[in-house]
Amino acid sequence: MYNLILLNHFYGYPDLIDKTSNDIRYAQLLRLLDRFNSENTIFFSSIDWRNDSRLGSIRKIALAEEFIWVDYTDEETIENILNTYEKLNDSIHKKISPNNTNVIIGGTNTAGCLLRNANVAAINWINLGFNVQMCLSMCADYQLDGINSVEKNNMAMGILYNFVKDNNAINKVDVYYDVADLRRN
């Protein structure tokens, strides 16, 4: 069984959200490294870590602790990214499937790119048969209306809930705040 940690646009737009909210996201991501087993946990990350020294440092720690880290671009589909992973080393990397993989999502624009607007959005994983966990402490919303991070993130949570309900995905998406509560294999 595998844990697939998807970090989509994790860096985002830090000037558009308060420092504390961003600090929480990075702290939770770092905490995740302590909670998950490197033998069965894979990070899939959009390439924005190259512009982000904090995410780049966390990536270095993950690699030093023998986690697998696979980069992808916005144009790539889930299938392309999974193929990239599987080609890394056929003898160790097993095929990822809905039956053996736990998908955990963090990054920016919870109600947009993470949920429904990107090639790697939760809805696309769900449509491939995967169950998804949204880790809110590793998510942030920049593009929604609102005067501060609290208002934007509350709006995102409302959109997330209604989208899941309206798309009959209530049994396919779990929402957590604390990385300690995430299901892991």
Q: How confident is the model at residue 119 (pLDDT cuts 50, 70, 90)?
A: very high
**pTM for this structure?**
0.94
Query: CA triplet 38, 8, 11: central angle to 5 degrees?
Result: 100
Residue 61: partners with Cβ closer than 8 Å, 6 or more residues away: 30, 33
Please, what are the domains in the chain? 2-181 (3.40.50.850)
β-pairing, 132-140 with 41-46?
unpaired
Q: What is the pLDDT of residue 8?
A: 96
62 versus 17: which is more confidently predicted?
Answer: 62
Would you say residue 91 has pLDDT above 90?
no
What is the rounded CA–CA span in Å between residue 29 and residue 56? 12
What is the rounded CA–CA span in Å between residue 9 and residue 46? 6
The pLDDT of 63-92, averaged and rounded, is: 88
Q: What is the pLDDT of residue 130?
A: 97
